[in-house]
Chain A
Amino acid sequence: MKAKKSIAASLALGLAAVAAPAQTQLFSDLVGPGSVGSVKAGGALQVPFIIWGGDMATFYANGGLKTKSGTIFQKQGLNLNLTPGDDFIQQVRDYRAGKSPFLRGTFRMMGQASEVIGSDPRTKGVVILQMTWSAGDHMIAREGIKRVTDLKGKTVAVQQGGPHIGMLDDVLKAAQLGWDDITVKFFGALTGPDSPVEAFRNDSSISACFAVTPDMFGLCTDLNSVGTGAEGTVKGAHVLVSTAELSRSIADVYVCRKDFYDANRPLVRKFVAGYLKASEELVDKRAAHDAGTRDQSYINLLNQTVQIYTEEVIPNADEAHGLLLDCTFAGYPGNVSFFEKQGNLHGFEAFQKASLELATSRGYAKQKMGLFASGLNYKSDEFLKYLNKTEMVQGERFRAEAVLSEIEELSSGGLLDDRTILSFTINFEPNQTEFSAVQYAAEFIRVIEMADKFGNAVVAIRGHADPTKTLIDLIKAGNAKGTLMRSGTRGNYRYSLNGRALDLNDTSRLLDAIDAGDFDGVEDYNPRRTMQAALNLSRKRAEAVKKSVVDYAKGEGLGLDLSQMQPQGVGIAEPFIAKPSSVAEAGQNMRVEFRLIRVSAEVTQESDFDF
């Protein structure tokens, strides 16, 4: 634990300079004035790296900070000099001055810089590579904040200008909240003394904060635990959202200067192909390491990582391995999907749109100046003959039965609410004769987008049925058996149960009667069978809705993983109105509820890349 905290401490040093803890500033003001220089020809090319598992693939390909002989990059004919780039603003200055043709950051950090780099044709940004998705960034909330929608009106602490701004934007969108619905407190550092994490510890008016994995451990113990207040944890602190499930939120990328890219396309392509080669080798070596195999080249990489980041940051090889485990590589299939797949909700176009909107709406930029996609030919031999893991079929990411088991277990254990990130309901209107996808287009799009962003959460589609018929059958069964009788006149009925006067408020007497079989054994009125039929109906309802969502996504050309959507029948167990008094009220029970649920890693299929 201590070791992990030191990663955080050093990350703080790197990122502290990103922004003042004040409110949002124009990115151009942060970078300051400076003239555009051209990238120097000859010698080693300067390439920035930051503290992240994805950058370990760069070390691996390069054999260290300077390109070593026999490495992937050397064989590609590259000569690189890797330089620390955790100060993103300094990176942008170096990029503008021509010291390096590359920028290294998250896609949305590129969005923040988009206006500064886009205002000169030479420095316009070309996104050349998606390295990874993050699985190691977390939003921590205090007790009482269970769903992301509970954030409305609350104060949230976040690092200014860092990777979590985009994540917060995604969380707010999922909750259908705007930035104005919350109070945002900005901090200069990602971690350490001037960080959201420290503020969260010391200021109870802050309801939620963002943290990297080591700090998350420090606040809550782990991903699914609640802080007890002991051992430095904060009492009641828990992970509200994590990129462990919000898995398509933080995309780490490389951007290249337009003038350099146009003049040196083959070189850039070799860099990209080399990186992808390194990542496909690393996913295998990482898995083998987890399985207990000790591969010397992998051990060397871990040790080298400790050396590069220093022991202050990554104390030992195990921590380096942990850093690598916090990221999911995109690989070749991920990059093809990111840049080329139509309707990819987590692809280049979607990220560009969201990034520029965020940059302008949050005041980092005055106007939207776009980034370019590389337009690399992924079908060329330089990729297909060079790489091994080029299969574009991802397959289903969830094991259906395991998902269903886990959800049923959570339901019966009363834990479903705790694990629900977000939920909303659509009703089957009483006067509705058709289940129209057009009518529910907005809800369907929301579900599809939500499923896409939260790639490792399950969308439970929970069907509900109206209980009126079950209750009526119960009463009729009682009448038929002579156990439950009614006398008197309309509006003034009196009831008796097994010959004794019954107060209908006497729930326990009625429940005892149900258990004793006083309503059983009548062929025409069998409330248990009606309940079972309602359970089955509710599941079919959920399946019908799933089918509609799937068809809708297909029709719109939007990607959707079928295994992520889990229909479930709740039957009459959770009615909106337990005793409806009209067709309209009964109709309110005929509903389907979407719930975004955090599930354990065990229900997902192992795969090399996510895309």
Chain B
Amino acid sequence: MKQNFNRLSAWLGAVLATTWAMPFGQAQVQVTDNVVVVVDASGSMGAPMGDSTRMSVAKDALKQVLEQIPDTTHVGILVFPRGNWVYPLGPRKESMLAGAIDSIQSGGATPLGDYIKRGADALLKARRKQFGYGTYRLLVVTDGEATDRGKVEAFTPDIISRGITIDCIGVEMASRHTLATKVHSYRNANDPESLRQAISEVFAEVASGDAGPGGENAFELIADLPEATASAMLKSLSTSGNQPIGEGPVMRAADPPSPSPAPSYSGGTTSSQSTSGEEDNTLVFLCAALCVLVVPGLVIYAIVKGKNK
């Protein structure tokens, strides 16, 4: 049984890998993997580092990492504080990419928070265009010294909560820096071994090899989870919004505005113990009810307009 399950996964992987890049002839939404690199080229990056500078170590590290990213991945390079989009997010052209990296000059302030927001916003924009499909990673190359530290602290978890994976290449960065501890992966620009580590493939579905800490089978690990809780958690993970980083969710029927931090499930599961929680829920329900009333009206209006055209 388990073996069959694995074979199914393997088969699906093989079949689906081929269909990914091959839409069927007609106009299809283009779905791609996307990486935006935010490169810190502030004054501090000009500091000497061994026989070289932080900047040139960072450039070498960046080139090495980009080599491991598949050709089909869309790449964008955002440099701060000067240079901006030296390579706008799009299909990769090797010759131009290398030139873009070489052109980076260091000097100036370090608005790291602002720029990771800009990089993430570009990814969210791409994700909206791709109807949510694809993969979205933000690669930050920095020494971590920021003039807007508060923004770094605030934006990093928001970016992550949107489902964007953040990887960081640190250049002589403090080990307790937010970008070293809160992100998904941290690599040291000075450690060739860690830079060569390829981005591992992500499996979407369980295979029988996925064991829990006690060696029990994968399903036992979630056996205690009530169905309703599981359902609500899945919904929460599935709805993250494409509005710019630092802004609240856009008003939609499935995604009502709510006091922070708001659960995005629609009730009927378990009641919160605190009274404030219940008030939150009432507000959520009111907003949801309003949306349910208003949105269909608008949609129907649009449709009728269309039909009567």
User: Which residues of chain A have a CB within 8 Å of any CB of chain B?
Assistant: 222-225, 244, 396, 399-401, 404-405, 408-410, 412-415, 418, 428, 430-435, 465-472, 474-476, 479, 490, 493, 495, 504-512, 514-517, 520-523, 526-537, 539-541, 543-544, 546-547, 550, 562-563, 569, 571-573, 575, 577-584, 586-587, 590, 600-602
Chain A hits for B257, CB < 8 A: none
Q: Spot the interface stretch: B84-92, B107-115, B213-221.
A: B213-221
6 residue pairs from A and B, CB less than 8 Å apart: A224-B300, A474-B233, A506-B272, A508-B277, A515-B161, A583-B208
Choose one: A410, A476, A528, A539; the contact of B299 (CB below 8 Å): A410
- Contacts A515-B262, A532-B163, A537-B16; is A475 near B221 (CB within 8 Å)? yes
Q: A469-B204, A472-B222, A474-B233 are in contact. Are A507 and B299 (CB under 8 A)?
A: no
A584 to B231, CA, bound (A): 18
Of chain B, the residue at the smallest CB distance from A466 is: B205
Could you mark each residue 161-191 of chain B with 1 if its beta carbon is under 8 Å from any beta carbon of chain A, else 0?
1010100000000000000011111000000
Please indicate the chain B residues that have their CB under 8 angstroms from the CB of A539 in the complex. 31, 133
Give the residues in chain B near A467, CB-CB below 8 Å.
Answer: 230, 234
Q: Is the CB of A504 within 8 A of B226?
A: yes
CA distance A515 to B165 in the complex (A): 15
Q: Residue among B136, B225, B254 with the most chain A CB within 10 A?
A: B225
Which are the 10 A-B pairs with shortest beta-carbon distances?
Answer: A540-B16, A578-B231, A579-B230, A534-B204, A533-B204, A511-B263, A602-B306, A573-B238, A600-B306, A468-B206
Q: Roughly how many angstroms separate A572 CA and B204 CA in the complex, as a whole number?
A: 10
Chain B 7-30 interface mask (CB, 8 Å, partner A; 1/0): 110011001100110011111110
Give complex CA distance A224, B307 in Å: 9
Residues on A with beta carbons closer than 8 Å to the beta carbon of B253: 412-415
Binding site for A on B (CB under 8 A): 1-2, 4-5, 7-8, 11-12, 15-16, 19-20, 23-29, 31, 131-136, 157, 160-161, 163, 165, 181-185, 202-206, 208, 210, 212-214, 216, 218-240, 252-255, 261-265, 269-270, 272-273, 277, 292, 295-296, 299-300, 302-304, 306-307, 309
A-B contact count (CB 8 A): 289
Q: Which residues of A contact B220 (CB under 8 A)?
A: 490
Q: Are A531 and B238 in contact (CB under 8 A)?
A: yes
Sample of 19 more A-B contacts, CB < 8 Å, known A413-B296, A544-B16: A400-B29, A404-B29, A413-B254, A414-B253, A415-B253, A467-B234, A493-B224, A504-B229, A515-B261, A516-B157, A527-B237, A532-B135, A537-B205, A540-B16, A540-B20, A543-B24, A544-B15, A577-B227, A600-B303
Min distance, Cβ B65 to any Cβ of chain A, angstroms: 15
Whether the Cβ atoms of A522 and B237 lie closer than 8 Å is: no
Nearest-Cβ distance from residue A590 to partner chain B, whole angstroms: 7
Min CB distance A205 to B, Å, is: 29
Residues on the A chain within 8 Å of B296, using CB: 413, 415, 418
Look across to chain B and name the residue whose beta carbon is closest to the beta carbon of A508: B272
- Contact indicator B224/A495 (Cβ below 8 Å): yes
Given contacts A540-B19, A541-B16, contact A575 B2 (CB under 8 A): no
State whether A573 touches B234 (Cβ < 8 A).
yes
Q: How far is the CB of B199 from chain A (nearest CB, A)?
A: 10
How far apart sit A434 and B203, CA to CA, in the bound complex (Å)?
19
Chain B residues lying within 8 Å of A471, measured Cβ to Cβ, are 222, 225, 230, 233-234
Residue of B216, B221, B262, B265 with highest tally of chain A CB at under 10 A: B221
In the bound complex, CA of A543 to CA of B226 (Å) = 32
Contacting A550 at CB < 8 Å: which of B24, B131, B208, B240?
B24
State whether A507 and B265 are in contact (beta carbons under 8 Å apart), knowing that A433-B4, A536-B133 are contacts in the complex: yes
Whether A520 contacts B160 in the complex (CB less than 8 A), given A508-B277, A526-B184, comes out as yes
Question: Separation in Å of the A592 CB from the closest CB of chain B?
Answer: 12
A529–B165 CB distance below 8 A: yes
CB B217 to nearest CB in A, in angstroms, measures 9
- Chain A residues positioned under 8 Å from B300 (CB to CB): 224-225
Establish whether residues B133 and A530, one from each chain, have CB atoms under 8 Å apart when the complex forms.
no
